[in-house]
Amino acid sequence: MIAALFALFAAAPQQAAQDTARVKQGVDYRVEARLDETTNVLAGRARLRYTNHSGTALDTLYFHQYLNAFRPNSAWARRELQFGNRRFQDLGPEDHAFERFRRVEVDGRAVAPVYPGAPDSTVVAIPLPAPLAPGATATVRMDWDARLSTLPRRQGRRGRHFDFAHWYPRIAPFDRGGWQPHPLLPQGEFYGDFASYDVTLELPEDQVVAATGIPVEGDPGWRTGGQLPPPEALRRDAYPARPAEALGLLAGEAGAGRKRIRWRAEDVHHFAWNTSPTFRYDGVIRASLDDAGNATPLPSIHVLYEPSDTGWSGNVTRHTFNAVSWLQGIFGPYLWPQLTITSRAEGRGGTEYPMLVMNASPSEGLVVHETTHQWLHGMLANNEWKAGWLDEGFTSFITDWYFEEKGQADVWDQTMEGLAQVERRGLTQPVGLPGEAFRDPATYNAMTYDKASVIFRMLREMLGEDVFRRVLRTFYDRYKLQHVDEADFAAVAEEVSGRELDWFFRQWLHTTDTLDYGIGEVGTARLPDGRWRTTVEVLRLGRAWMPVQLQVGGTSRTLDSREPRQVVEVVTRERPREAVLDPRAVLLDLDRTNNRAAIR
Ligand SMILES: [Zn+2]
């Protein structure tokens, strides 16, 4: 059944036309880095090969140095000041994060980095000695120092536990709209170009390490009963072998008490890692069998947690395994060789990186949410600061759907009631705004996560679950390992459903129009044949519109008139007691008290 659907929708004729403007730059990183725990500074050296697949010559390369958000005078710290939060503005010289170049060369010539947003230094421009023509490749060599902040926020350190969510100069994404450099701010997250990474890390020998990618050489320190996981779990052969390119930072052998681990990752838009000498390890190896009984390895799942983390042992691997299995049915295969869930220094929430999740708790909801991000943001890579709804709202919806399918019927109730209150109080802003345009973190969260999740649920209900599932599979099939945006998703939804949906995305993402259906007059009368004819006045009181279900007794009907007032007749065998609009409470209706009327 699934194979048939793929065949039907994989080769859509308009795909070529849509894709002409798509850009996928060539990004190849080789990195050597050494962590010095006496200073807590990571020294890095990278060789980046950047191939310009866009149609225009480039005179500048843009990079992100997002560790520089977590220090005084960053755009992040200044934004937090507006809300009375001084935590990063006041962070002292020993405690704040930094990421500083020591040297940058392009094609053998030294260049001086420029910080266009100074004093913020999360965006850096590297002027090229000569324009990079379409099809041409520039080789960038960089030396830098990086340190995490002692106050953890999406990165950080605590004792010997280091969360290197950001640590290297990461090339800014270049998409259909050109360069997309953007400072890191509290509202909105990440966006990146797909790349190939070959990273050698040198650390103290007792460190246990988790990372995006596969540990192709060296010992990551994972132990179960004193043993390294078996080769099927380590997957050292996941990529065709190739020797490590020596950059000279890690020349000779690692010294006494030190070790090196080489990691590789392909088709990921970020490389993150974290480490702690006290990490404990749980793992799951999976394989699928074909009809002839041949086993194919599926992504390994690794879980690393601190001894003080209660509830992790066994549970997180099980939740992750269940989530990956379910998500592969919703979208399509997990395309990378492993997925690691680790415990982080920051005490709340979680953050998603390709193949790696850093979580603060073993909660099943959190595991399912962050695992869903491997598809929605990881493999289907939207610009999270520009359209957070497309990964955060989508992911929140998928997570609720997961629990709905597990039998949790009331999973939506709290979100629906909370949002209706926000709508009634007029506190909404358009869901499609860029992250930093929301007036405060509470509104950003309510719109980007909650309202967007309800919008996806309304779409699922309106299209029907079968059609909606085909929309998701087609979206994945067509755009996996590529950048995606609203237009891509809307086009797939329209194509698969055969419906015009511009109005839906415009209304729900780009206006704050509210929806309020109500029942006016209701009456019923017996017909000569003994049945009952009920007349219901249906009022559309808000500016927004959606098809709405009207239930009269045991009969229900979908109303698709846009009239502010319509009178509907329903004939039933039995005398109906009640008329109800949107009986399953799917619509974001800001006043539900007028959705129900007794029939006397
Ligand atoms: Zn999320």
Task: Count, in order, helices (H) and strands (E) of the chain.
Answer: 13, 31
At 25, the amino acid letter reads: Q
CA 388 / ligand 1 centre spacing (Å) = 9
CA 370 / ligand 1 centre spacing (Å) = 6
DSSP string, 57-69: -EEEEEEE-GGGG
Check pLDDT > 90 for residue 14: no
Check pLDDT > 90 for residue 103: yes
Find the mean pLDDT for residues 119-143. 98
Check pLDDT > 70 for residue 65: yes
Confidence of residue 100 (pLDDT cuts 50, 70, 90): very high
Check pLDDT > 50 for residue 211: yes
Name the nearest CA neighbour of 338 among 219, 210, 221, 225: 210
Residue 474 has a pLDDT of 98
CA 420 / ligand 1 centre spacing (Å) = 22
Average pLDDT, the chain: 94
Domain spans of the chain, in order of start: 402-510, 517-598
Verdict on whether the full-model pTM lies above 0.85? yes
Residue 226 has a pLDDT of 85
Find the mean pLDDT for residues 300-315. 96
Confidence of residue 96 (pLDDT cuts 50, 70, 90): very high
CA 247 / ligand 1 centre spacing (Å) = 36
Using one digit for the tens of pLDDT, what is the confidence trace for 583-592? 999 999 999 9
CA 274 / ligand 1 centre spacing (Å) = 19
CA 375 / ligand 1 centre spacing (Å) = 11
CA 581 / ligand 1 centre spacing (Å) = 32
Residue 285 has a pLDDT of 81
CA distance 371 to 398: 11
Find the mean pLDDT for residues 228-252. 94
Residue 534 has a pLDDT of 97
CA distance 377 to 113: 29
Residue 19 has a pLDDT of 47
CA 284 / ligand 1 centre spacing (Å) = 24
Using one digit for the tens of pLDDT, what is the confidence trace for 524-536? 999 999 999 999 9
Domain 402-510: give its CATH superfamily.
Neutral Protease Domain 2 (1.10.390.10)
Q: How much of the chain exceeds pLDDT 90, in percent?
A: 91
Residues, CB within 5 angstroms of ligand 1 (ion)? 392
CA 351 / ligand 1 centre spacing (Å) = 7
CA 369 / ligand 1 centre spacing (Å) = 6
Check pLDDT > 70 for residue 597: yes
CA 79 / ligand 1 centre spacing (Å) = 21
CA 372 / ligand 1 centre spacing (Å) = 8
User: Which range has the worst mean pLDDT, 108-122, 276-290, 398-412, 476-490?
Assistant: 276-290
Check pLDDT > 60 for residue 140: yes
CA 384 / ligand 1 centre spacing (Å) = 10
CA 395 / ligand 1 centre spacing (Å) = 6
Reported as type and span, the H/E element at residue 368 is: helix 364-372
CA 449 / ligand 1 centre spacing (Å) = 8
Residue 295 has a pLDDT of 77
Strands 273-276 and 208-211, how do they pair? antiparallel
Q: Tell me, rounded to whole angstroms, the distance of Cα 172 from its chain centroid.
A: 17
Check pLDDT > 60 for residue 483: yes
Check pLDDT > 50 for residue 568: yes
CA 25 / ligand 1 centre spacing (Å) = 26
CA 357 / ligand 1 centre spacing (Å) = 11
CA 265 / ligand 1 centre spacing (Å) = 22
CA distance 273 to 31: 13
Find the mean pLDDT for residues 51-62. 97
CA 389 / ligand 1 centre spacing (Å) = 10
Indicate the Cα dihedral angle 124, 129, 133, 139, nearest 10°.
-70
Name the nearest CA neighbour of 484 among 371, 388, 383: 383
CA 397 / ligand 1 centre spacing (Å) = 11
CA 216 / ligand 1 centre spacing (Å) = 29
CA distance 193 to 181: 11
Q: What is the largest distance, in Å, between two alpha-carbon atoms of the chain?
A: 98
Residues near 35 by Cβ (< 8 Å), separated by ≥ 6? Answer: 41, 42, 162, 201, 202, 203, 204, 207, 275
Check pLDDT > 70 for residue 558: yes
CA 352 / ligand 1 centre spacing (Å) = 7
Check pLDDT > 50 for residue 340: yes
Using one digit for the tens of pLDDT, what is the confidence trace for 390-437? 999 999 999 999 999 999 989 999 999 999 999 999 999 999 999 999
CA 390 / ligand 1 centre spacing (Å) = 10
Name the nearest CA neighbour of 212 among 186, 184, 238, 231: 238
Confidence of residue 294 (pLDDT cuts 50, 70, 90): confident
Confidence of residue 7 (pLDDT cuts 50, 70, 90): very low
Task: Please give the radius of gyration of the chain, using alpha carbons only, rounded to the nearest integer.
Answer: 27
CA 394 / ligand 1 centre spacing (Å) = 9
CA distance 115 to 195: 24
Q: Is residue 440 helix, strand or coil?
A: coil
CA 327 / ligand 1 centre spacing (Å) = 15
Residue 11 has a pLDDT of 33
